């Protein structure tokens, strides 16, 4: 049981006069005392402005487009990285209307609501973009503080403690602009801030290289099948026979769009192609129900935790050890591919290493390749994540309120195959991409822990720790942390 005793004077010092117990948890008070004993300033003192003009009044009118002006949402901001892999786009007209929400080079972006609340990153791109109402844009005063140091601080445990302390709401937590400005930031030396800046920039650069390598692998794949610049037919009308609806057991027009037939016919005309069910063994997982969730234990992996680059711990749920014992048959194994079939179907991730204890939800399938001489796992995973399969999924799940990719449809999904040598080339680029991704995350974690150490202990020891761990990382042994 936790207990804090605070004076009424202390309570009144909090903006908005907070009296809830969460605001005065011992961990938050310890963070406050630690920072107050260092040289520090608030974000309000360090910044020219903190704004989040977004689209509350325009939410019902914003239409996302296949291309246009980039528009960021909270999911795009994560631990010093701004994700441009899954960008949303809006028209130039909407972008112009949202002129006060435009992201500017060097601003610190901080998410303010939902499951991704409290994630910070510096906007480090030279293209124009806007964001939704749940992303605050912090414009710093010139030479007040390094933006990459500030974003790293906000992501570290001392920044997160203040964010958790000041957030409001229950079902949908929020952080308002006024409280963001009260967050206290230790002012470390310019030399140390520059050190953190350089590490973060190296991490961002590694992430960019990761993206380029993955894109190169995709382009090789699509070029092999003549789909690199594929522009599907989109006629205003088309005709199908009644017998087609009988055989497909579908009557929705979306299912019969010519682009789907065009793609399937192109794939089936290839010399070497198979149905997915002939290439892999498919294992289903079990759903224990939300009543089995708990705050710690064995990770329960839902579709929202699965990405094509790994398993995210955002909003992670857990199950008990005893329940895991009963569901152990669902434990994923090294060499398998996890594939989502519900909600957001078609996310595939290859387990190149033996995974820790976990149980995937019933919305995730485990695929085991039957003949490794014929199909390399990284190659198949890339195909599953590419438009080759995504368009087949789009057709199969169309017409549903909640997307479900049926197992029978999964088995009949057409997978094009190429020679072993080309598969190996693609797999090599994918492996390089994943190594760069890990390197990026390791660098950002070193920067974050270095800031924590400098605040808790001293900058000299923190700098020594950082340099030794950078040496281990560059020698190819990032796990040899001290």
Cβ-proximal residues to 129 (8 Å cutoff; 6+ apart), any chain: 69, 70, 71, 72, 102, 103, 123
Beta strands in 222-302 (DSSP E): 273-275, 280-283, 298-301
pLDDT value of residue 401:
72
372-405 pLDDT, tens digit per residue, is 999 999 999 999 999 999 999 999 886 567 889 9
Task: Give the range among 127-141, 170-184, 380-394 with minimum mean pLDDT.
Answer: 170-184
Using an 8 Å Cβ cutoff, are 306 and 381 in contact? no
pLDDT value of residue 382:
97
pLDDT value of residue 58:
56
Which of the two residues, 402 and 145, has the higher pLDDT score?
A: 145
9-27 pLDDT, tens digit per residue, is 555 556 555 656 666 677 7
CB atoms within 10 A of CB 319: 20
CATH class of 8-187: alpha beta
Q: Which of 360, 383, 385, 361 is nearest to 309 (CA)?
A: 385
pLDDT value of residue 3:
65
pLDDT value of residue 27:
79
How sure is the predictor about 420, in pLDDT bands with cuts at 50, 70 and 90?
A: very high
Length of the chain: 482
- Residue 155 burial (CB < 10 Å; 0-12/13-18/19+)? buried
Task: Give the range among 91-100, 127-136, 190-199 with minimum mean pLDDT.
Answer: 91-100
State yes or no: pLDDT of 200 exceeds 60. Answer: yes
pLDDT value of residue 475:
85
pLDDT value of residue 247:
66
Report the C-alpha gap between 400 and 347 in whole angstroms.
Answer: 18
Report the C-alpha gap between 78 and 118 in whole angstroms.
Answer: 9
State yes or no: pLDDT of 57 exceeds 60. Answer: no
Compute the average pLDDT of residues 152-164.
Answer: 95
Return the CA Rg of the chain. 25
pLDDT value of residue 115:
77
Superfamily of chain region 226-269+273-417: DNA methylase specificity domains (3.90.220.20)
pLDDT value of residue 369:
98
The ranges assigned to domains in the chain are 8-187, 226-269+273-417
State yes or no: pLDDT of 54 exceeds 60. Answer: no
pLDDT value of residue 60:
54
Compute the average pLDDT of residues 74-82.
Answer: 94
Q: 130 — phi, psi (to 5°)?
A: -125, 175
**CA dihedral sign, ordered 68, 74, 75, 78:** positive
* Mean per-residue pLDDT over the chain, rounded: 89
Q: Same CATH fold, 226-269+273-417 and 8-187?
A: yes
Which residues pair with residue 137 across a beta bridge?
A: 51, 109
């Amino acid at each position: 049981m936790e207990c804090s005793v605070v004076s009424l004077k202390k309570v009144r010092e909090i903006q908005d006069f907070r009296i809830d117990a969460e605001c005065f948890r011992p961990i938050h008070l310890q963070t406050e005392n630690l920072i107050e004993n260092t040289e520090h300033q608030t974000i309000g003192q360090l910044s020219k402005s903190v704004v989040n003009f977004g689209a509350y009044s325009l939410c019902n009118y914003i239409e996302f487009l296949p291309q246009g002006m980039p528009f960021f949402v909270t999911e795009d901001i994560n631990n010093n990285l701004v994700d441009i892999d899954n960008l949303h786009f809006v028209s130039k007209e909407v972008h112009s209307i949202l002129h006060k929400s435009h992201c500017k080079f060097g601003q610190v972006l901080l998410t303010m609501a939902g499951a991704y609340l409290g994630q910070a990153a510096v906007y480090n791109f030279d293209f124009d973009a806007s964001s939704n109402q749940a992303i605050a844009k912090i414009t710093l005063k010139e030479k007040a503080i390094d933006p990459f140091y500030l974003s790293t601080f906000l992501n570290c445990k001392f920044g997160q403690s203040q964010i958790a302390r000041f957030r409001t709401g229950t079902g949908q937590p929020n952080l308002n602009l006024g409280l963001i400005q009260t967050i206290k930031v230790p002012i470390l030396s310019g030399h140390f801030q520059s050190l953190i800046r350089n590490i973060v920039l190296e991490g961002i650069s590694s992430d960019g290289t990761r993206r380029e390598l993955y894109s190169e692998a995709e382009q090789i794949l699509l070029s092999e099948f003549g789909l690199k610049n594929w522009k599907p037919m989109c006629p205003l009308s088309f005709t199908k026979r009644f017998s087609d609806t009988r055989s497909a057991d579908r009557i929705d027009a979306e299912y019969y769009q010519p682009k789907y037939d065009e793609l399937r016919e192109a794939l089936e005309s290839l010399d070497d192609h198979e149905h997915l069910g002939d290439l892999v063994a498919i294992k289903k997982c079990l759903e224990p129900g939300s009543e089995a969730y708990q705050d710690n234990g064995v990770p329960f992996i839902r579709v929202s935790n699965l990405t094509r680059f790994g398993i995210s711990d955002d909003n992670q749920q857990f199950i008990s050890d005893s329940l895991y014992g009963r569901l152990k048959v669902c434990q994923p194994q090294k060499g398998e591919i996890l594939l989502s079939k519900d909600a957001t179907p078609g996310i595939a991730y290859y387990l190149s290493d033996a995974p820790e204890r976990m149980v995937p939800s019933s919305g995730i399938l485990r695929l085991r390749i039957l003949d490794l001489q014929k199909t390399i796992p990284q190659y198949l995973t890339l195909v599953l994540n590419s438009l080759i399969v995504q368009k087949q999924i789009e057709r199969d799940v169309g017409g549903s309120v909640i997307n479900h990719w049926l197992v029978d449809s999964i088995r009949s999904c057409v997978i094009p195959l190429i020679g072993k040598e080309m598969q190996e080339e693609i797999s090599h680029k994918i492996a390089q991409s994943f190594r760069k991704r890990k390197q990026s995350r390791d660098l950002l974690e070193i920067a974050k822990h270095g800031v924590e150490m400098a605040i808790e202990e001293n900058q000299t020891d923190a700098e020594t720790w950082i340099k030794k761990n950078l040496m281990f990382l560059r020698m190819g042994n990032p796990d040899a942390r001290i």
